[in-house]
Every structure is written in structure tokens, then in C-alpha cells.
Amino acid sequence: MANEARPCPCALGDRMDYGSLGEEIRIEHVDAYVVKPTSAPGKAVIVIQDIFGWQLPNTRYMADMLSSNGYIVVCPDFFVGKEPWSPSNDWSTFQLWLEDRKPTSINKEVDVVLKYLKDQCGAQRIGVVGFCWGGVASHYMALQYPEISAGVSVYGIIREKEDSYELKSPTLFIFGEKDPVIPLEQVKGLETKLKERCSVDYQVKIFPNQTHGFVHRKREDINELDRPYILEAREDMGPSGPPVVPTHLDSTPVVPTRPDSTPVVPTRPDSTPVLSTMQVYPNPFDLIHKIHHLFI
């Protein structure tokens, strides 16, 4: 498999200067970042970290963006207190680091988080979104947990195993066309195997010219060619309509900033929203069983 030699292509990318809107709590043995909308929606999303850990500001921005669109969002520490990967680490040690942080060894933590969302938050429908390491984890959850209403795997490494295709939850797979470690032939192979073996709805979506990490590790203003794809992929993760910028209680926007403190706002220079080709539904969870109709 082409990505076995270097199983994660991650560079930290554009680390956001972002303070977040939620709070850190303890759910049994798991630390977690939780952010809730003003009203109780009965809908929740589990956001799963990449190798840089649950406290990465970029991932919390994604969590706040989802919550601003009406979801209870929890981002657990699936490393359970173990150190996340550091950009300064030696890649030759990655496999050793990964040994006790496998994205397919998370059942105990998932069970705890699901119980919390159901019993304490009143969540009746629960989705999952994962990035990189978390993309593998969300794919795994879609194979193991039929109570998950919908899953999104964002550039999760493809593991070509016989049990990787019989999804129990509708799942959207997001990839970048120029991801150096997830080649297109593997993505196309995934789609072929899903067509053969998967009995629930799924979607495999490839974003032109994008590399690993483009959804959550690139600033929206990185350049005008990338921005529409970054925003469209963020829209695909769950909210219907263009992404909503998280706001403070006084309705002022909370956005990541550049080094000069000017805001990075997910709009075009003329402030018009970036439109997606996605067909908009009032609530993606209500129609998730038709996920292959969400795009035209």
C-alpha cells in the first residue's frame, strides 16, 4: 500500500490563533471539549482530532462552526492523556508513537461519549466528523456503530482490509486530489469496493488541487483558488447552507486571526458567500439515508 511507508503526511499547516467558545470537561476517564448551541437541538456531532490532538485550535474552530449551525459538539481526547504528535518529532518514530494511539482502538472512549451525549445532552441523533487520524477513526465508527446517524471521514488514510467496506452508517468521504499519501487510485479503489459491498448510502468526494489537511489546516484566505474548496468541504461536514462563523454571546463574530490580528472570515473579498454545488436540505440528518443525493 502506497501510504504504509509514511502512514500520515501531516504538516501542521496554518495553526489558527483561536480561543474557542466551548469548555473543557471530564467525561468519566476522557477529557473533552464541548460546545453547545443556545437551544437544545437533540442533534450532536463527535469531532475527532488529527494526530496533533484534541486541543489544536483549528479543530476547535471546526467544532465551534458546527455548533453555530445548531449541533451539540464534543471533541474528546481520544489519546486519553497521551502526548499528541509534535511537528518537531522524527517521522521515523511515528509507528512507535502510534502503537498505543490506534484509531481503531477507541471503543471504550466512544461508548463513554455516546452515553454522555444521550443521557446528559438528550441527543437523539449523533454524527461523527474526523480529520486525518480522526478520519480513520470515523470510518471505523461507521463500521462498528449503527446508531451513528452519519459519518464524515476527512482525508482518513485508506486501510485496504476486507472488513473496511461494510458500513453500518451512511458516510461521506472527503479527499484532496493532490494528497501525497492518499493517491487517487486508492480513493477510486475505495469507491469500487464500497459499490460492491456497502448496503448503506455513502459518498466519495475529491476536491481538485487540494492536499492533505486542506479542510481544517488551511486558512480560508490562503489563496483565492483554494478558498472555495475549503469552504465547500466545511459545508459538507454537516450544516446546511454556507458555514456560519461562530459568535460570542453578544453576537460579535469569533474568527481565527492573522499575526497582525486582522480576522480571517470565510467569505469572498466582496463578502458574498461561496456557493456549493451541494443540494441544500433543511437538515442533513433527516435525509442522510439519501446522502448520495446531497450532491448534484
pLDDT at residue 223 in the model:
60
pTM of the model: 0.75
- Which DSSP letter does residue 290 get? G
Cβ 52 vs Cβ 85: under 8 Å: yes
CA distance 223 to 270: 15
Beta-bridged to residue 236, according to DSSP, are: none
Q: Would you say 155 and 213 are in contact if contact means Cβ atoms under 8 Å apart?
A: yes
Q: Which residue among 121, 212, 221, 226 is the active-site one?
A: 212
Q: Is 17 a catalytic residue?
A: no
Residue tagged active-site, from 10, 75, 121, 132: 132
Taking only the tens of pLDDT, the chain with its 296 residues reads 334 444 554 554 455 566 778 999 999 999 999 999 888 679 999 999 999 999 988 888 888 888 888 889 999 999 999 999 988 899 899 999 999 999 999 999 999 999 999 999 999 999 999 998 999 999 999 999 999 999 999 988 887 776 789 999 999 998 888 888 888 999 999 999 999 999 999 999 888 888 877 776 555 445 666 666 666 666 666 543 334 444 433 444 444 443 444 443 333 334 433 322 222 223 333 333 333 332 22
Q: How far is the CA of 257 from the CAs of 57, 92, 225, 246, in angstroms?
A: 11, 33, 20, 13
Q: What is the pLDDT of residue 276?
A: 28
Phi, psi of 68 (to 5 degrees): -65, -15
Residue with cell 476536491: 207
Q: What is the pLDDT of residue 264?
A: 38
- pLDDT of res. 286: 33
Q: Which pLDDT value is given to residue 231?
A: 65
b vs e for 147-181, b when ≥16 Cβ sit within 10 Å of the residue's Cβ? Answer: ebbbbbbbbbbbbeeeebbebbbbbbbbbbebbeb
Is 212 among the catalytic positions?
A: yes
Q: What is the pLDDT of residue 54?
A: 94
Cell (9 digits) for 120:
446528559
Q: Which of 179, 201, 226, 236 is catalytic?
A: 179
